Structures are given as structure tokens and as C-alpha cells.
Amino acid sequence: MAALSEEQSMIRDQAKSWASEQAPVQKFREMRDSGVEQRFATTTWAEMVEMGWTGILVPEEYGGSELGYLTFGVILEELGRQLTASPLFASALVGASAIILAGNDEQKQTLLPKIVDGSEVLTLALEEGSHHQPVKTGLRAEKSQSGFTLSGNKTFVLEGMVATTFIVAARTSGETGDSEGISLFLVAADSEGVDRSAMRTVDSRGYAKIAFNNVNVASGALLGTLDQGLSVLEATLDRARAGIGAEMMGTAAQAFDMTLDYLKTREQFGNVIGSFQALGHRAAGLFSSMELSRSCMEAALQGIDNGDDDIAELASLSKAKMGAFLHEMSNQLIQIHGGIGMTDEFDAGLYLKRARVLEAAFGNQAYHRNRYAALLGF
């Protein structure tokens, strides 16, 4: 439903030229080849902070600009086009959302300004198995004299190697699978008993598994209400799902543009291959899917900005639709490019690999189709 405002269009243009000049896909490739553990370029991240992108969701009283989720999406889309790697999404979207939604005054005061100035990098430590299933949270947090003691393991933690504070979903009562009994905790990454190690994922981005070995936190580390963390966790996740949809759109749109360009230049049988109707119709089909998914993605982000009551439904619609389109588009990127698409030297592989990781993050297509139906009552 979105028609971008003048300000949003300006931000998009700024993000587009910055990403393509300062953080293009070549830079991502260099980072990958260097094997650097933090999995992003320090200067890239510093420039994002400098441009104020870390404060887009944060209220002005905490040093942000509070421009909203659709505006954030406009930037993430441009970064998705170049596969630009940084903690922006993990910290300034997911982390900031959780603090804004659930944080008390002190937590907001302490963390939000530091998210904005880049001195803190927050990330959500949620997953415990190979499939997204928030209600299955099992990492235990037991009440102690001074607060809580956390024990258990988290996996697939985005930017887990560089995060300074983890937002940990833990079970404070009940059993795995219960919707009651989940609580969120803020845990400093340098706390005693936190042990992290890098996970080497196919997309060369920064993921980690984190072991919490009897980690003691003060009672003030509780984010939100004890045992009632699932609803705010889901609300945070819906913002993450909608936001990552914008990044997925950028990655898919770039794959589309690369493919369309190839259709217009590659010649076989004495003609450019885009003149073959089979490929023209395939391109038309991909374009149609792109436009339909874009509408879902933008509607989810705008729904959050408007405070609509169907955010969960829209977020699942968006994540499922974007997942399906990105999946198909990344496959066609390789297929239509033929042999060249199979070579590591060409960028298509980078997009294909990133596509699958984005699809899996915060619930894959199947997860969100099922959730969408459950929300509609069937």
C-alpha cells in the first residue's frame, strides 16, 4: 500500500548510491575471501552509524530519528541488492525493536543511545534447533538470589561474534512447547560463562552459536514481564520478519535485474536469448511475482508503522511470499545465466547462497504459511 514520501525517496536514493559505491557486492566478496571472523567491514559499519541509520527506529529522546519501519525497509532493500554485510539489521532493527517494545525506562536509557552511536551491538539469541520454533524455547533461566542463572545453548545467532549484548529467550517456567513461561533477558556478551564460536554458513555472513554456562544476571536484566515473554518476542519477530523481507526484496530485485540484463545481451542461435518467447514469458512471470511480493512486504512494514492490528498476519504473508519469490528468482538467476552462473567468479552464486539463508531466518515459507492459516483460523 506504500507510496514513498519525498523523504523516503531521498533516503532510498542516498542508500542506493552509498551501497553501490561504498559497499558493493565486490566488497562483500573481498570480505568473504579474507576470511575475517567478524564477517563485515568495520569502515562500512562505521559509515552506516555516521549516516544515522542505526537510529531510524529509535525515538528522538534517545538520540534517534524515529522514521519508522518502511523507511528502514527502504535502506535494507538497497543493502540487500549489494549483499552488504553489517550488524545494522540485527542491532538497529531487531535489537532496537525489542527494547522499544519491552524495555523499561532504565533499559531504554542505557541501551537505545548506544545502539544509535554504535557502541553497543544487540542481537536476538533465540534459535535452539535447526528450525524456527519460538514456542519450543528450552534454555533455562532459574531464579537466583540476586537475579537469574541461564544455562543452555543458542544457535544461528545473527552477528553473534560481534554482539555486545544478547537478548536471550529463556524458559523460566513450564515445559518446552508451552506458550507461557518464556522470558527475555539482556545478557552482556562478556558475562562470565558465555562462550561463543563462529558458525560457517553458506552465505559467509556472521552467525554464531552461544553456550550459556550458568551465566548469572541481575534481576534488572529481565526484559518485559516474567513468564509472559512470548507475545513481545513474537512482536519483535514480526518486525524482524517484515524488515528482512525488505532485504530479501533487494537481493531478489538485483538478481532480477542481472537476469534481465543478461537476457538482453547474451546471444545464441543468432539472437539475443530474451527474444525467445519461453524466456520472455518466464521473465514476465518473475516480474509479476516480484510486484506481488513487494506489495506484501511494503504492507507489512507500513502496517507496523500504522500500528495496525493485523501485523502478525501481514508479516507471515510477507515472509512467505518474499521467500517464495527469492527462492525462484535465485534459481532462475543461475539457470538463465547457464554455465557462467555456476562459476564462483560470477556473483550469481553469492545471491543464491544468501537467498537460502534469508529464507530460513525467522521462519521459512512453510512455517509462515502454517502460521498465516492458524491466524485466519483454519
Partner 1 sequence: MSESTKPDQFRTSVREWVEGNFPSSLSNYVPSMEDDNDGSFPDLELWRKRLAEKGWGAPTWPTEYGGAGVSHPEAKVISQEINRVGGFNPIPALAGMGVTMVGPTLMEYGTDDQKQRHLPSIASGAVRWCLGLSEPNAGSDLASLNTKAEDKGDHFILNGQKVWTSGAHISQWCGALVRTDPDKKKRDGISFVMLPMDREGVETRLIKLISGASPFCETYFNDARADKIDLLGPLNQGWSVVKRLLQHERQSQTSASSGGTKRESLQDLAKRYVETNADGSIADADLRSRLILHLMDDQAHKLTVGRITAEARGKVEVSAAASILKNSATNVSQTRSELTLELMGSQGIGWEGDDFNEQELSTVREWLWGKAISIYGGSFEVQNNIISKNILGLPETTQKG
- CA pair distance 327, 358, nearest whole angstrom: 10
In the bound state with partner 1, the residue whose beta carbon lies nearer, of 139 and 312, is: 312
Where helices occur in the chain by DSSP H, the ranges are 6-22, 25-34, 42-50, 69-82, 96-102, 105-117, 229-265, 277-306, 311-337, 348-360, 365-376
259: which residues sit within 8 A by CB, 6+ positions away? 283, 286, 329, 332, 333, 336, 337
Looking at beta carbons only, is 290 or 358 nearer to partner 1? Answer: 290
List, in order, residues 6 or more apart from 226 with CB less than 8 Å away.
Answer: 172, 183
Return d(Cα 321, Cα 368) in angstroms, integer. 9
Q: What is residue 141's DSSP assignment? A: E
Least CB distance to partner 1 at residue 276 (A): 7
Nearest distance from C-beta of residue 288 to partner 1, angstroms: 4
Nearer to partner 1, 75 or 296 (CB): 296
Q: What's the DSSP call for residue 182?
A: E
Q: How many residues does the chain have?
A: 378
State the sign of the Cα–Cα–Cα–Cα dihedral 125, 128, 133, 137: negative
Q: Return the closest-CA partner of residue 78 out of 251, 288, 244, 205.
A: 251
Q: Which is nearer to partner 1, 205 or 369 (CB)?
A: 369
Give whichever of 143 and 281 is closer to partner 1, judged by the CB atom: 281
- We find the least distance from the C-beta atom of residue 252 to partner 1, in angstroms, to be 15
User: Please, what is the minimum distance in Å from the beta carbon of residue 296 to partner 1?
Assistant: 5
Q: Which is nearer to partner 1, 354 or 369 (CB)?
A: 369
User: What minimum distance in Å lies between the beta carbon of 370 and partner 1?
Assistant: 8
- Contacts with partner 1 by CB under 8 A lie at 1-3, 260, 263-264, 271-272, 274-277, 279-281, 283-285, 287-288, 291-296, 298-299, 317, 320-321, 369-370, 372-374, 376-378
Q: CA distances (Å), 11 to each of 63, 80, 287, in order?
A: 19, 15, 25
Tell me whether residue 145 or residue 277 sits nearer to partner 1 (CB atom): 277
Contact between residue 251 and residue 77 where contact means Cβ atoms under 8 Å apart: no
C-alpha closest to that of 169 among 222, 116, 241: 222
> Least separation, in Å, of the C-beta of 313 and partner 1?
8
State how far the alpha carbon of 237 is from the alpha carbons of 94, 126, 192, 223, in Å. 7, 10, 28, 15
CA distance 134 to 338: 40
Query: Cβ of residue 179: shortest distance to partner 1, in angstroms?
Result: 14
Q: How many CB atoms lie within 10 A of CB 308?
A: 13
Which residue, 211 or 260, has its beta carbon nearer to partner 1? 260
Which residue lies nearer to partner 1 by CB, 154 or 371?
A: 371
Q: Whole-number minimum distance, CB 274 to partner 1, in Å? A: 4
CB of 6 to partner 1, least distance (A): 12
